[in-house]
Amino acid sequence: MVDEIEFYRNRTRRSEHLYKEASDITPLGVGSNFRYFEPYPFFVQRGRGSKIWDADGNEYIDFAMCFGALNIGHSHPLLVKELREELESGTMYTLPHEETAKLSKEIIRRFPVEMVRYCNSGAEATMHAIRLARGYSGKDKIVKIEGCYHGCHDALLVSIKPPKDSGDPRFPYPIPSSTGIPKETLSNTIVAPFNDLAAMEAIFKKHPNEIGGLIMEPVPMNMGIVLPEEGYLQSIRDLTIEYNIPLIFDEIKTGVKIAPGGACEYYGIEPDIITFGKSVGGGIPLAGFAGKEEIMEHVRPGGVAHMGTYNANPLAIRAGYVTLTKILTEKAYDHMSRLGEKLINGYNEIIADSGIIARIQSAGPMGAILFTDDEVKDYRGFLRCDKDLWFKYWIAMLNREVIPLPLGHDEQWTISVQHDEEDVQRHLEAFKEVAWTLKLGA
């Protein structure tokens, strides 16, 4: 491992210089805590198609794709052309414009929703979604799933990477995942395990007439990829109807990725509210929340507040409309699924041949490598994965000019429309070499 770190340093000398310069004037030298890693992050110069180039001129095949935000790839030529045209007309109006309705109709076509509102990030979308659920229900408490990340705001930045003492697996403690979160905030956040219907029902029974909403990733993607057990999501849907609790599907990661209509389509579930973001904007900041008319109509003066100077700006709306109607077509999904299957099958073969302790869990074309013997069904199972081995794998893949997935063993790879067979083959060749290196303990 020492050799891999030293190799990394030797090939990223300019990045090291830029990092030292940046760290003097900004915490960790990066714009988001997730972007930092030891010994220092490499600095990117440009991206195009399936590749990015760092400040030292190294080329990488990118399967991280900005934490999954770019399943159209880097600088898609069609989107670049359309955005150039939009720039000529203006980037902001803070007044309505025609294309907002066009994008909303496409969102409604893909998802089981009736009305849409826009914002600029996934964190904003989930913040507004839980406020809407509370405003509609008239109740204060929100239930979230242990280990799921819903953005960096106080009410939901809870029980992510908790300490060892996290309480009963069926009734986890609501542990803040940052300093600066008031204790009073946690009093209205209840944490539940994933894939445990009985635990969820027990929570609902314990807090009658108090729960204003349940927010969940239908496929948790901040613990690699964890699949819902058969029937689990439909049973959750039935349970929330029985207890009159609004169900929010956080589709920031799954939306328009695992299927054109996200997890709603993939699993055939109709939640009350959804959030969307990341890949919907094609790399331009765009997110939103949508739902049934009877719920969404509470967004109004004197009702649920939703404001924002940058909301539904014409540049972001154009990006979203072009992405969904002209790039992420049926043909594009066929392409991504085919490459995703090839990558997943290749990983499984290499794991079996090398004998390393690892498994692949996937949804649609997205996949994640988890260094464990056991299927990961919830956050506690994910915490038992070998994080140190994951980092050795990750830094070794970087040295072979493949970014296999975003930094953090809790992430997954993204296949974009601009990846091709050669990209997947090079990824697998790099992993084959790395897998045997890990097996031999190098």
Give the residue numbers annotated as catalytic, written as ranges: 149, 250, 278
Give CA–CA dist 345/333, Å, rounded: 18
21: number of Cβ within 10 Å: 11
Name the CA radius of gyration of the chain, rounded. 22
Strands 211-216 and 141-145: parallel
Give CA–CA dist 328/320, Å, rounded: 10
396: number of Cβ within 10 Å: 25
Residue type at position 199: A
Yes or no: say if 408 and 324 are a contact pair by the CB < 8 Å rule. Answer: no
Give CA–CA dist 247/216, Å, rounded: 8
Distances (CA, A) of 208 to 117, 182, 203, 238, 382: 30, 25, 9, 16, 31
Yes or no: say if 397 and 53 are a contact pair by the CB < 8 Å rule. Answer: no
Alpha-helical (H) ranges within 90-138 are 98-110, 122-137
Q: Is 407 exposed, middle or buried (0-12, 13-18, 19+ CB in 10 A)?
A: middle
Give CA–CA dist 88/258, Å, rounded: 34
Q: Is 240 exposed, middle or buried (0-12, 13-18, 19+ CB in 10 A)?
A: buried
Q: Which of 107, 94, 5 is nearest to 321 (CA)?
A: 107
Report which secondary-structure segment, H or E, holds 347: helix 330-354
Q: 3-class DSSP state for residue 53?
A: strand
Beta partners for 266? Answer: none
Give CA–CA dist 396/384, Å, rounded: 22
Yes or no: say if 114 and 233 are a contact pair by the CB < 8 Å rule. Answer: no
Yes or no: say if 394 and 431 are a contact pair by the CB < 8 Å rule. Answer: no
Locate 353 and state its tokens: 């041949």
Q: Which of 44, 32, 65 is nearest to 282 (CA)?
A: 65
